Structure 1
């Protein structure tokens, strides 16, 4: 019951004007994992760089195999992979700065925890926070839309099924795993920024269609469900994508809260003071 009341209070607390921003008092959460007890973790640093290298490899493979005279960049799937790459690379840089205390990062953050007014959130941490939410939500939308509406219905051959599986399925799996690892919170109002990306993409599809743009097989659309010859269907797709964002945003918020609750519970059980509770 107490957990339910705390969760309800946290939801109400989200709908404040300052929650649109990217200031956060617990800055160490951008540099460490939710499950990290020690100040530094070589395993987490290694994990961050493995993730970054994975998405760099996926994007490189896409460039080599599917560039098609630049057509690679017209697909939302590849926008998502680029976002995942930038997200993981930013996380790896932050973890590296923390682990080796570059520019006194760890010292500044730890000293800031003792101050009444914490230091400002670094721009890279704010950028990483925004990127992570945007990349994760977009990955979930891409996976959902592809496997329900596009798989096997694209009217074009699938030349690289392995790469397609990675960019349309494992992208979400890996980002969800990472979401369970990171420590910084989800803010519901940040979903407004996440939704800007599909708006930008839909404007791009209109401009691309109006300019006579074609896909790599000469079709006058990027995706069949975004064919502007049938604007009603395209607008319906647009509304459906926004509905997915509305659904996934509170789910991610709830998972974030549960992740934090579980971490605190496990830490309390590992504490010497917990012996009297057994």
Structure 2
């Protein structure tokens, strides 16, 4: 009974309108790993730059090999991996600024404590991380269940396909388990808006006579606007998938907080969890 009461209070708190925005009273969490014990971590700094450079390298390679007169940019997969690349680069820059206290970032945040404001750069990073994480899961799920082998065209670069449709989710899930900043229920709306934008893009692209690189009159077979009902079913299914994945991620976020508090007690007898 106490568990249900705590759960209800937690959900009610999450659904407050201020949680729709990007203000956070614990700004330092955006610069640190949930699992680091000290204010700065060389391992975390290296982790951030390794992911950032790998993501950038893969994305540039994808553009070079799959540009196809600009049709590279019509696919949600490439939208999603582009978001991951930008997110990882931003994260690396933020952690570098914190690690070396560039422009007194760390000093100012520590001095202000919970009164420190969430900067525009951190808000953008938070927003991008939310969308990159959720879209990676949706892209991987949709591709491997509904599109793999059903695209009416050959898979020209199998290795790149695996990286952009499988390792994208693995990368973001690992990062989600490592970062310290919170995940808010109402932030799922951001990814819903991106999904709406992509659906509208595919419709406009269809109306304008757009095709994929092999001349097929659609971006994806499940979004062939010659069959509007199928597109509507896809639209509803994606929305339900977004909701389900975000609720699961929220549950995992709460669990990692619990584990962090438990490990904090092991690390230092009087430690308090980061969140």
Question: Following TM superposition, by how much is the alpha carbon of 1:61 offset from its aligned partner in structure 2, in angstroms?
Answer: 1.0
SS state of the match for residue 80, structure 2? helix
Question: Given the alignment of the two structures, is residue 59 of structure 1 paired with residue 59 of structure 2, yes or no?
Answer: yes
Question: Given the alignment of the two structures, is residue 222 of structure 1 paired with residue 219 of structure 2, yes or no?
Answer: yes
Aligned twin of 1:78: 78
Question: Structure 2 length as normaliser, TM-score?
Answer: 0.96
Q: What 5-or-longer segments of structure 2 have no aligned partner? A: none
Aligned residues: 271
Question: Following TM superposition, by how much is the alpha carbon of 1:75 offset from its aligned partner in structure 2, in angstroms?
Answer: 0.3
Question: Following TM superposition, by how much is the alpha carbon of 1:3 offset from its aligned partner in structure 2, in angstroms?
Answer: 6.0
- Deviating above 2 A after TM superposition, structure 1's stretches of 4 or more consecutive aligned residues are 1-9
Matches within 5 A, 1:1-278: 5-113=5-113, 118-273=115-270
Question: Following TM superposition, by how much is the alpha carbon of 1:171 offset from its aligned partner in structure 2, in angstroms?
Answer: 0.2
Question: Structure 1 length as normaliser, TM-score?
Answer: 0.95
Going from structure 1 to structure 2, the CA distance change for 1:2 and 1:101 (only over 3 Å counts) comes to farther
Root-mean-square deviation (CA, aligned residues, Å) is: 1.3
User: Which whole-Å CA distance do the structure 1 matches of 2:26 and 2:48 have between them?
Assistant: 20
User: Which whole-Å CA distance do the structure 2 matches of 1:30 and 1:2 have between them?
Assistant: 32
CA displacement, residues 120-161 of structure 1 (integer Å, 9 cap, x when unaligned): 101111111111010100000001100110001111000100
User: Which whole-Å CA distance do the structure 2 matches of 1:86 and 1:270 have between them?
Assistant: 34
Q: What 5-or-longer segments of structure 1 have no aligned partner? A: none
Question: Following TM superposition, by how much is the alpha carbon of 1:194 offset from its aligned partner in structure 2, in angstroms?
Answer: 1.6
User: Which whole-Å CA distance do the structure 2 matches of 1:153 and 1:93 have between them?
Assistant: 40
Question: Following TM superposition, by how much is the alpha carbon of 1:8 offset from its aligned partner in structure 2, in angstroms?
Answer: 3.6
CA displacement, residues 158-196 of structure 1 (integer Å, 9 cap, x when unaligned): 010000001001100110000000000110011111211
